Amino acid sequence: MRNAPTILHLDMDAFYASVEQASKPSLRGKAVVVGGLGPRGVVATASYEARVFGVHSAMPMGQARRLAPNAAYLVPRFGIYRDISEQVMGLLRELSPLVEPLSLDEAFVDLEAGGAAWDEASARLVGVRLRADIRAATGLAGSVGLAASKMLAKIASEEAKPDGLVVIEPGTERALLAPMSVRTLPGVGPATGDHLRRAGIHTVEEIAEAGEDELVRLLGKAHGHALYAMALAHDERPVVAEREAKSVSVEDTYDVDIHDRVRVGLEVQRLADRCVRRLRGAGLSGRTIVLKVRRYDFSTLTRSETLRGPTDDPGVVREAALRLLDSVDTTGGVRLLGVGVSGLADYTQEDLFAQVAGERVEHGEEGDHEEPLAEREAALPVERRWVAGHDVRHVEYGHGWVQGSGLGRVTVRFETPESSGPGRVRTFRVDDPGLEAADPLPLVRGRRGVSGGDAGDRGTEVGGVVGAEAALRGPERERGGGAAGEAPPVVPG
């Protein structure tokens, strides 16, 4: 372990909720909960004002509503979150070539590798400047931890929350760790924590006192050795600049169990198309198609098929996913479906087109060309859907966001990040010709906004997951119910 606190851990504070508060002046200083809004939705992020009521990430949304009934409940806008994350990660890469993103809002940085810091004073100065740069670029707050190892830097950033900076000086690590709960250490989840508690071990100091042999006896060789080393503040893990993606996947949880076999098949095809869009967006292809099915009784089945070579063709992925579905009994109902691709590569094997069931004509040859399912669905005349928290524009009132919709009405608050106070509220029919979906506005004047794809994808992307993104209930299935605290929509007089 190095002798200077030159490993930095950045964690943006309540990231999704903070973005929403910065975008919407009427929500600043108020409880905001971001996540899937359906009966089976989960909380992705809660603002600090909502956490006062006991709301936290991964909590069922129904429980969150009971704890904080007057909070604003919004569907995530991953497009703007990714855009802001790119700005933040760009600032980190100016400090060092070794930046290890853990999620959209969290990363490690090796300051020594970039020559940005070499001792406690220079590291602290970098941390102060970084927080100021992030606020200037995004208007958001981030907490910074600095230490001689990744484990301690992450612990430091947790201690710094919200909107602070903590430096753990070399030589003070064990004294700092000693009184902390065993759950503070990486790899100690609820099950391991309970196991240690039953053995009379509650703090990090008690782990060190128990000794390595006792930990190996309790937890096994690998886990026991690793935990004992961490209790002694030993962590030699390097900051890794690039993490190779192992798979790309999307999934949806449904409000009501799906019993109709045809509907299940259509959902699998739709998920396959979404998965391929993400695969192509990352410039990847894959050999192994994976289907995930969670049935009515919460039993989860996973089926996979490995192709002759990597592909990014939606037809191939759809057909493989449907073949996998044939082996799954869905008679009792399905509550979750997912499609993924693993065995990733950065090339495709053209002859895999032949694997698609039936002899379809590909690449613009003569004959009927089958459009991807998602494109066919998009072409169908369907009722316009307005998702709580998402951006809209009205020809008369300008830019705003959806507070709620239902019963053929949509309620919009018209305000922008630069508004001096809460904007005015108007209610429209869902088919009002003057109202349309819009791209999010940048949080800071002069900064670019998100790509136009965010508005178009708002109905298809929330249910899927890539890496650490939470699996939320897809907003394309949202029907009624607006942000908490709002009266039911009414027709304007």
**pLDDT surpassing 80 at residue 402:** yes
Q: What is the pLDDT of residue 41?
A: 84
pLDDT-derived band of residue 207, with 50, 70 and 90 as boundaries? Answer: very high
pLDDT-derived band of residue 447, with 50, 70 and 90 as boundaries? Answer: low
Query: CA–CA separation, 145 vs 9, rounded Å?
Result: 5
Higher pLDDT, 412 or 471: 412
Q: What is the pLDDT of residue 36?
A: 86
Q: What is the pLDDT of residue 98?
A: 94
Q: Note the maximum CA span of the chain.
A: 76
Q: What is the pLDDT of residue 229?
A: 92
Cβ 325 vs Cβ 291: under 8 Å? yes
pLDDT-derived band of residue 193, with 50, 70 and 90 as boundaries? Answer: confident
Average pLDDT for residues 127-153, to the nearest whole number?
96
**pLDDT surpassing 70 at residue 34:** yes
Average pLDDT for residues 52-69, to the nearest whole number?
93
Please state, for a pLDDT cut of 90, what percent of the chain lies above it: 61
Which of 49, 106, 319, 469 is catalytic? The answer is 106
Q: What is the pLDDT of residue 15?
A: 96
pLDDT-derived band of residue 131, with 50, 70 and 90 as boundaries? Answer: very high
pLDDT-derived band of residue 463, with 50, 70 and 90 as boundaries? Answer: very low
CA distances from 299 to 60, 98, 294, 335, 397 (A): 19, 41, 6, 10, 49
Average pLDDT for residues 46-66, to the nearest whole number?
94
Query: CA–CA separation, 70 vs 64, rounded Å?
Result: 10
- Could you confirm whether 106 is annotated as catalytic? yes
pLDDT-derived band of residue 349, with 50, 70 and 90 as boundaries? Answer: low
Q: Write down the mean pLDDT value for the chain.
A: 83
Average pLDDT for residues 28-57, to the nearest whole number?
92
Q: Which residues of 111-142 are buried (b: 16+ CB within 10 A; e: fewer)?
A: bbbbebbeebebbbebbeebbebbeebbbbbb
Q: What is the pLDDT of residue 492?
A: 34
Report the range of poorest mean pLDDT among 62-66, 385-389, 451-455: 451-455
Q: What is the pLDDT of residue 469?
A: 34
- Is the bond into 162 cis (omega within 30 degrees of 0)? yes
Q: Where are the alpha helices (DSSP H) in 307-349?
A: 314-325
Q: What is the pLDDT of residue 243?
A: 67
What are the pLDDT digits (tens) for 99-130?
999 889 999 999 999 999 999 999 999 999 99
Query: Angle at Cα 309 formed by Cα 308 and Cα 315, nearest 5°?
Result: 90
What are the pLDDT digits (tens) for 276-317?
999 988 888 999 999 999 998 888 899 999 998 899 999 999
Average pLDDT for residues 48-58, to the nearest whole number?
94
Please state the separation of Cα 439 from the chain's center in Å: 19
Query: Angle at Cα 482 formed by Cα 479 and Cα 486, nearest 5°?
Result: 150
Q: What is the pLDDT of residue 345?
A: 81
Report the range of poorest mean pLDDT among 55-64, 269-278, 304-313, 382-391: 382-391
